Amino acid sequence: MQKVKNVLLVVCVILPALLITLDNLFPLPLKEARMARVVLSDDGTPLWRFADGNGVWRFPVSIDEVSPYYIDALLAYEDRYFYHHFGINPVSVVRAFFQNLYSGKIVSGASTLTMQTARLIEPHRRTLLGKTRQLWRALQLEWHLSKDEILTIYLNRAPFGGTIEGIRAAAWSYLGKEPAELSRAEAALMVALPQAPSRLRPDRFPKEAQNARDKVLDRLLKFGVFSEEQVKDAKEEDIYLPPRFVPQLAPLFARRTLAMTDDLVIETNIDAAMQENLEDIARNAKSALRPATSLAFLVVDHTDMSVKAYVGSADINDESRFGHVDMVSAIRSPGSTLKPFIYTLAIDEGLIHSESLLLDTPRIASYRPANFSTAFSGAASASQALEKSLNLPAVQLMEAYGPKRFTAKLSNAGIKLALPRHGEPNLSIILGGVGISLDRLVSAYSAFARGGSISPLRYLKGDDLASYDFVGAGAAWVTRRMLSGEADPAFYRHGFVSMAYKTGTSYGYRDAWAVGISSRYIIGVWVGRPDGTPVAEQFGAAVAVPFLLRINNYLHSRAISSFIINYSLDEMPASVGSASICWPSGQPLPKGDPNCRVEKRAWIVNGVTPPTLLSNTQDFLMGGWYTYYEDDRHERVAFDCKNAVKKRLALWPVALSPWLSAGEQISRRLPKKSKICPPSEESELVRPLFIKEVKDGDIFTKHKSETLLIPAISSQGGSGTRWWFLNGDLIAQNGENDFLSYTFTKNGGYQLVVMDESGQSYKVEFGVEGIE
């Protein structure tokens, strides 16, 4: 009786206590089974992998993500009693012992799937001690984990040759598909591979791999897992392997996502086919790019702001082009790409409408930018100024709206501009005197596709769709029309809008930009040198726009061939209307009114037709309305003269005088002054300003003995200091009676503009030839 008690004591108390102690002293090394990280496209295609510390690629997978054919085949071939034993199968142990004893060598093993899993998480040598550790770990696995959890570890850690571990990594590497899509033949092949992964690799030894697969199929037929017909059909499948699949898409994007989440499997919104196509475009373009020049593409579906393609450089493997530098996230000067935002803010604020009169004329303020094309063009409508990317009108709007307010408005909508250190927002912001990345710029352009709201980009599937109010839907809609070249309401087609885009070129040709909005996508393109070195004559329209149009054509063709609905109706908001307006006042006038010097059809918002900027003054130098009195002889008289009638004259800003026809000059439009009862304001007109020695169309030829091509030039009329501009650049400043001298070094056409303190200007256009 005492012996029985002693046995019970050992079995019920001492042995459990010993096992618990050993379990605590030698815990399962599950934490060491760290998975690699994998970045997936929107359909689950692996884009890029980040191997573990040993360089092994394990693609995390769960049981329900694997084909039932593979699960059934694996259990039948490796461990039919997996769900019934406690980690060690005594029947298999006895069977293997007698088979090996009878054969005189090892012909059969007794390892269960649990024991194989134990060896995977803690490899060991094939010794008695190693086998003992394997048995102990198998028992621990059974105590701590469920059968499905053990099977999941095996599915993720089974060796398949080289650095490939796990069924999902193997299915993608050898077969180019998800493990859920495995056929019976493919499932049998995947079961066979871990038996001898190096010797049975199907990409190197297809014959040996096929024999091993057929052996598995025979076993499955014997155990009734597959029918005879199913096995026959499976054996008829040749082992055809597509080119070895290695995830090599969107490397810079994948690297960026690592900081966005701790997930092992990073699910993104990238479209794998689109990404591959755009990467091909980038690589094939290298031969046409200047040395050390890179590029970046970004495509966003503006219906939900999901990032569909992200090309951060021309080629990540090209060190000569700084291929490892992600130019989608790099801070660069945006050139003119911010101009649409000052126009839409000005429209939303009621400062302008689509056809407001703006001035492309010299400035005498401290900030005097020139146009990209150097010369001034005079009067420009808001739509023309934006379409042609004129600098001076954009600065005029920024001055009226305010650079600090502009910066704050963008910042409140999530678009933060990088100002120079200790710098304050100033007028140069609108011409690229600030920093922004391509992804932020594309996000900002969502305002023109999403009813005036700016939305952050959605990189990952779990990212929420957010929106920040920026401008009203009407202002955004009108600006998009202006960008698309369809600003004339007469050509409006309901619900349809062409691709709208804007280019930009930073100072010194360091950055070339193009951002476009189609019916579904926002496309961003950047071209330049990542190290900031200038590249002569590399500007947005020349190098970035061709990429933009090529990408847009690809997306359009892709939509048609795939029967994808790629168009969303561009419905006109209720706040938008159209009106006939007149220049120079910028407002509607009765039909036949003599003050309607130029009639235009404009898009307006909320029924408001703003007057021409800076026209709310009686000072005719700034434009606006000039009041005078006229008698029955149609002469200008004093207000208290007999038969005096009050009249108003819509004035062109004096700065436009050089670009106006003779009939539009104020001296021609105002009635002559009465000699009988003259007006009292004798100072009401200033003397017209003009250049004396040069006239339009002159050609100056350099002779061998000459260096000064044009004689001393002077101006007459006007008042105060003179500023002289040659092809848009300020070249001199002098007094009323001073002369200008200039030495020319290049042949070609020139535009010379003089401007005085009153705001008057005068221009002449001439040519220079004979310079060698």
Catalogue the active-site residues: 78, 336
The type of residue at 502 is: K
Helices within 426-584 (DSSP H only): 438-445, 473-483, 545-561
Quick one: tokens of 274? Answer: 């689109």
Answer for the pair 512, 529: CB distance below 8 angstroms, yes or no: no
CA atoms within 13 A on the CB side of 16: 7
Question: Helix, strand, or coil here: 521?
Answer: strand
Cα–Cα–Cα angle for 437, 443, 445, rounded to 5 degrees = 105
Neighbours of 234 (CB within 10 A): 23
Query: Which of 648, 652, 674, 647 lies closest to 663 in space, CA to CA?
Result: 652
10 Å CB burial of residue 546 (0-12, 13-18, 19+) is middle
DSSP 356: -
The type of residue at 537 is: E
DSSP 629: E
Alpha-carbon distance values, 157 to 73, 81, 118, 120, 728 (Å): 17, 21, 10, 6, 69
Query: Which of 263, 28, 24 lies closest to 145 in space, CA to CA?
Result: 28
| 3 state SS for 329-347 | CCCECCCCCCHHHHHHHHH
Largest Cα–Cα separation, the chain? 148
Distance between CA 772 and CA 769 in Å, rounded? 9
Strands 57-58 and 164-165: parallel
Distance between CA 47 and CA 144 in Å, rounded? 35
Distance between CA 234 and CA 214 in Å, rounded? 9
DSSP 221-262: HHTTSS-HHHHHHHHTS----PSPP--BS-HHHHHHHTTT--
Question: Helix, strand, or coil here: 444?
Answer: helix
What is the length of the chain? 772
Neighbours of 31 (CB within 10 A): 8
Q: How far does the chain reach from its first CA to its final CA, in angstroms?
A: 125
Q: Angle at which helices 228-235 and 206-222 pack, to 10 degrees? A: 180
Distance between CA 246 and CA 176 in Å, rounded? 9
Using left for φ > 0, alpha for ψ between -120 and 50, and beta otherwise, residue 550 falls in alpha
The sign one gets for the Cα dihedral 659, 664, 666, 667 is positive
Distance between CA 447 and CA 440 in Å, rounded? 12
**Within its chain, how far is the Cα of 726 from the centroid?**
38
Residues with Cβ within 8 Å of 177's Cβ and at least 6 positions away in sequence, in order, are 171
DSSP 701: E
DSSP 458: B
The type of residue at 741 is: S
Answer for the pair 735, 721: CB distance below 8 angstroms, yes or no: yes
